[in-house]
Structure 1
Amino acid sequence: MQATETVRDPAVAGLFYPDDPAALRRAVQALMADATGPAAGRSLPKALIAPHAGYRYSGPVAASAYAALGNASDRIQRVVLLGPSHRVPFRGIAATGAGAYRTPLGTIAVDRPALASIRELPGVVTLDLAHGPEHSLEVHLPFLQLLLGNFNLVPLVVGDAGPEQVAAVLERLWGGPETLIVVSSDLSHYHDYRTAQTLDAETCRAIEAMQDESLTPERACGCRPLAGLLRAARAHRLTVHTLDLRNSGDTAGPRSEVVGYGAWTIQ
């Protein structure tokens, strides 16, 4: 990272996850210790789908996704991370002008050549305003730092973008086994527990069937990056595997109004 490049500092450290490095490391280690690892003989996933709420709520489900990586630190060198924009409305897919993302566990270099390679694709813009307050990418980084050690990051915040735009970006960045794709999405929001279970089960079946046209913001807040990933995965003849499906009523919250979470691999 050059000295003149900016660093995107954490926005939700101390809110969604601990801001003390030692406490954060312990929190992620505890979540991973409770998660189930990959089945014997299962190959390394090309992509993960995981939630992005505060760790006490969605952390156990996110850990279910990251456990599927097993001991992959010697193979994964780059992570393409996509999540929805919660605070800044815009059209397209936002790259960053920053040279690194920082968490309490340290800095992660942004893959500038990778971002340059997608700059001319439809819908791609450089918009640091979308990255600054956004938690949907940030909360995944401590998991990735603990599991992978050193890696390069391609952070993309997805606004109002069609699945064909997202799929085109992913195809350009697809790479080989050195590249992992992570899509950040929660599921239904603020229904009662039983209603959420029904809705999220329907969404899970749509994801498993790669029916990207069935995904709406009411079913998954990350429906746009998720739809693009499913479209790209179909083109590569990959398969979705469900690892976990719960909601905040199962982890740390009341059951009167819950948020749904799921974890999937694509391989």
Structure 2
Amino acid sequence: MTTRRAVVAGTFYESDFHMLEQQLVSCFRHKKGPGELPVKRGEKQIKAVVAPHAAYHYSGACAAWSFQQVAEAKFADCYVMLGPNHSGMGKSGISLSNWETPLGVVRVDKELGGELAKKSELVVDESAHSREHSLEVQLPFLQFVSKDRLKDLKVLPISIKDDINLHRLALDIKDVLVDYDKRVVFIVSSDFTHYGATYGYLPFSSDIPQRLYDLDMGAIKHLLKLDAMRFMDYVNETGATICGVLPLILLVKLLSKTEGKLLQYYTSADIMGDFRNAVGYASLVFD
């Protein structure tokens, strides 16, 4: 079994075991985080969370809200991780390698991954994940909140590009999960609007904090209602630079009979104090 080594440890998050644990604690206790560490695991069942994927200094407190939900919910047999592909490498693909972070190695669910590779358009493509940060940054959080079940922890990382039919893929994943007959929780990695000259997106130049908030809330409300069509239309109409559009659409198509909730939202400018360039971060949970 091959192992994917961490590629953004030391940049997006601490590379030392103890320093990373301290950093994660600070994310939970941050004024924009939940304010406290997760309490004991419960029997509540959640279906999915959405978490941002910037460096922990920026978005870690927001991500902590999502992983507090994971920590206090019923443990899943597999955490299926859906993320965008920033590098452009590879295809929409599954990783069947184990993944290593400074907190240790996380096992991949080869059974589920193998079935998806057989019965969907997804392929096994390690190159799609080799330089991609969006799923890697979720793993230390998942390890941290799974300390009670680390030996049982399994993930399935899936990178989503525009080379695949999301509607068909959602149906195929649902079919495979019926046969899999185990408990799955989806973790979707996405930042929201990237505003400013750095990102080539300047739809407004005044009242930026409120208008950026309103722009992202317009997208989030459609996600919470599981309305993929209106979400897609909204993104197309506004040009909102949401990097995880494709995995978010896939998630909405995968879920049904569930309720979404916004747990936290802020922007990088709320941390840095500079709205000339800002990125929106949101934490969502679907029960």
TM-score strictly above 0.5: yes
Residues 71 and 146 of structure 2 are in contact (CA less than 8 Å); yes or no, is this contact kept in structure 1? no
1:47·1:180 contact (CA, 8 Å) conserved in 2?
Answer: yes
Structure 1 runs of 4+ aligned residues shifted over 4 Å read 174-177
Aligned to 1:88: 88
Change (3 A) 1:253 1:218: same
User: What are the residue-to-residue correspondences of 1:101-180 with 2, within 5 Å?
Assistant: 101-149=99-147, 150=150, 151-160=153-162, 161-171=164-174, 172-173=176-177, 178-180=183-185
Q: Are residue 189 (structure 1) and residue 191 (structure 2) matched?
A: no
Taking the TM superposition and a 5 Å limit, the aligned residue runs for 1:1-267 are 5-34=1-30, 35-36=33-34, 43-72=44-73, 75-89=75-89, 91=91, 93-98=92-97, 100-149=98-147, 150=150, 151-160=153-162, 161-171=164-174, 172-173=176-177, 178-191=183-196, 192-213=208-229, 214-215=231-232, 216=235, 218-234=240-256, 237-252=257-272, 254-267=274-287
Q: Secondary structure at the match of 2:145?
A: helix
Cα deviation for residue 170 of structure 1 reads: 3.8
The answer on whether the counterparts of 1:76 and 1:148 sit within 8 Å (CA) in structure 2 is: no
Q: Is the 8 A contact 1:193 1:257 kept in 2?
A: no
Q: Secondary structure at the match of 2:53?
A: coil
Using the alignment, how far apart are the partners of 1:249 and 1:52 within structure 2?
A: 16
Deviations 1:142-185 (A, max 9, x none): 00001013201111111113331442354224767742210101
- 1:176, 1:184 → 2: CA distance? 24
- Between the aligned partners of 1:121 and 1:219, the Cα distance in structure 2 is 32
Q: Deviations over 1:246-267 (max 9, x none)?
A: 1111223521110011111111
Larger Rg belongs to: 2
Q: 1:177 to 1:258 in 2, by over 3 A?
A: farther
Per the TM alignment, residue 78 of structure 1 is displaced from its structure 2 partner at its CA by 1.7
Tell me the number of residue pairs that the alignment of Structure 1 and Structure 2 aligns.
256
Query: Matches of 1:42 and 1:112 in 2, distance apart?
Result: 26
Q: Is the 8 A contact 2:192 2:282 kept in 1?
A: yes
Q: CA deviation at 1:69?
A: 2.6
Counterpart code for 1:155: P
Question: Structure 1's 166 and 57: CA in aligned 2 closer, same or farther, altered over 3 A?
Answer: farther
- % identical equivalent positions: 28
- Gaps spanning 5+ residues in structure 1: where? none
Aligned 8 A contact 2:120 2:173 in 1: no
Q: Distance in 1 between matches of 2:62 and 2:83?
A: 16
Q: Which amino acid aligns with 2:285?
A: T
Aligned counterparts of 1:200 and 1:71: Cα–Cα separation in 2? 27
More helix by share: 2
What 5-or-longer segments of structure 2 have no aligned partner?
197-207
Deviation at 1:71, TM superposition (A): 3.3
